[in-house]
Structure 1
């Protein structure tokens, strides 16, 4: 930028510039807007006035040197060409619920349907949990989500592996609305984790939205994700933790929800599982215990719809002549009834059969379509 004073800059573009300069966050932006008549005036200010506004000398100096290399106008044009858009906290469509939290982001990037962010008269539930979910957690999501979606409850999560991804997919499968809050940029080649890039595009395709307070091409820095978590809880009236270890990012989200005066909900889990220690502790500390979908609907003062008449599905009779296949099938069936999957080591321990025999019989059962595997665990097909 050769001559800042001759180059016209809008307030939106000024906020875009401040957002790209990572050393000025929401609290500093509030100081600037309090001192200057507009974001544009703050962006073009000299060192003396930036300091008077409350910005530390070194940060103000770094900003003045940095802005010589940055063009908000060119950056906005580039983002638009790439299909990345943004709103600021001065825009009418900025989420009302976010404005209520401490230090809300002054700018949000998005891809997808902006209308989704309008939270007037909407019920929103944030769902978070372990990246290594159990079959128990998967069953909770696939059981609860259809009823929640039918009552127009929108689902907020963080696009992480495990619980987050399951929540987003179950919402899409039931034709619901979901908001994915990222700890990276929202541009397609920047989605993290890479394994969820197709899911991210599907969220956009089905009329939902990806959002982030981080500029495009921001890498998945560890410190970004706890910061991102305050937005997950901030966008919803309640946060549900399904599975979490004793020290988990999900508990950070729960703590944000508590500080934001939002409901904290938790699913009780197996007392012997490390992935239930966090949720069980939350319940001990006062989180609302969730054991059925009606417990969640009650938070929003909603009632479960009358159950639809399900078509009777003829179950295929499993005929096994091999006694060893029968043993393995029964163990898998028992695990399935407990909403669990089972791995080879557990099958060897329970069946007392040799590993090579187990592998052979599992392959036969899988080829016959009786069981299925995710590469590690086995379950009934």
Structure 2
């Protein structure tokens, strides 16, 4: 397995730390194969370096690959040709993306962000607008969350369109949050869309993972243009 993909499993690897590591070692492969003394050249806190070296000894590469295969999840590190070009251009691109389903072509994408508690009017606007744009060929991107997010996904599917869900959790069935939307996630994949996350299978969401995933929604996984709109309550 590509060492970039393996590094994405290290719990303390933030986009900034990944960027600092590449600046020193040039590649994830070189960093992975470095000695403890060499690893300390990276401007990480000493305890994080020590934790990484200890963690690396426990990594079961074969087990990780098997879990990805059994879950139908593809790992796209930054060096992979399938990694979204637009996402590479942001300040803190994810070291890798984990994907279930089909990443779409260069069609325009619309990211929909909304409140979990909404008014009837907000629901109507979100449903009508996303359905209309999906019929025109736009790919609807949202976060699979309760509220406006799920309305956007459902409306796109009902209109015969394609939709992508960017998660703050792993994309495997056991990790999908909220669990009530596992059925919706399945429909998204079955209808030509995808589930996308910077977090590996098995990752449970935290208070930080949802705000962090929003930067991916703003530059969705395609090669075309993207726009975003917010639907309040």
Q: Could you say which TM-score interval applies, normalised by the shorter chain?
A: over 0.9
Tell me the residue number matched to 2:67: 78
2:199 to 204, 214, 226: 214
Deviations 1:14-39 (A, max 9, x none): 12221111212222212222222431
**Post-superposition CA distance 1:166-217 (Å, at most 9, x none):** 0000001111111100011100121111221110111011110001111111
Q: Aligned partners of 2:167 and 2:201: how far apart in 1?
A: 11
Cα contact 1:157–1:181 (8 A) shared by 2: yes
| 1:55 Cα offset (Å) | 2.6
Q: Deviations over 1:63-118 (max 9, x none)?
A: 0011111123431122112212211111111112211211110101111113x2x4
- Does residue 198 in structure 1 map to residue 187 in structure 2? no
Structure whose alpha-carbon radius of gyration is higher: 1
- The equivalent of 2:165 in structure 1 is 180
State the secondary structure of the residue aligned to 1:20. Answer: coil
Q: After TM superposition, list the pairs within 5 Å mapping 1:201-350 onto structure 2.
A: 201-235=186-220, 237-243=226-232, 275=233
Query: Could you tell me how far 1:147 is from its partner in structure 2?
Result: 2.6
Task: Determine if contact 2:128/2:155 at 8 Å carries over to the other structure.
Answer: no
Question: How far is the alpha carbon of 1:242 from its aligned partner?
Answer: 0.9
Aligned equivalent of 1:44: 33
1:151 aligns with 2:140: no
Query: Do the aligned residues in 2 keep the contact of 1:184 with 1:192 (CA within 8 Å)?
Result: yes
Between the aligned partners of 1:81 and 1:147, the Cα distance in structure 2 is 36
Does 1:109 pair with 2:98?
Answer: yes
Identify which of 145, 149, 174 aligns with 1:160. Answer: 145
* Aligned equivalent of 2:16: 27
Structure-2-length-normalised TM-score: 0.92
Q: Counterpart in 2 of 1:140? A: 125
Give the Cα–Cα distance (whole angstroms) in 2 for the partners of residues 198 and 81 of structure 1. Answer: 18
Cα deviation digits, residues 112-163 of structure 1 (max 9, x gap) = 113x2x4x3x211111111112211221123222331232111110000110
CA distance in 1 between counterparts of 2:68 and 2:164 reads: 20
Asked whether the equivalents of residues 79 and 85 of structure 1 are also in contact (C-alpha less than 8 Å), the reply is yes
Task: Tell which has more relative contact order, 1 or 2 (C-alpha 8 A, sep 6+).
Answer: 2
Q: Structure 2: which 5+ residue stretches go unaligned?
A: none
| 1:88 and 2:77 are equivalent in the alignment | yes
| Runs of 4+ residues over 3 Å off in structure 1 | none
- In structure 1, distance between residues paired with 2:205 and 2:28: 28
Question: What secondary structure, in the 3-state scheme, does the structure 2 residue paired with 1:160 have?
Answer: coil
Partner Cα distance (1:49, 1:217) in 2 = 31
The answer to whether the 8 Å contact 1:16/1:72 transfers is no
Equivalent position of 2:89 in the other structure: 100
Deviations 1:291-340 (A, max 9, x none): xxxxxxxxxxxxxxxxxxxxxxxxxxxxxxxxxxxxxxxxxxxxxxxxxx
Mark the runs of 5 or more structure 1 residues left unpaired by the alignment. 1-9, 244-274, 276-381
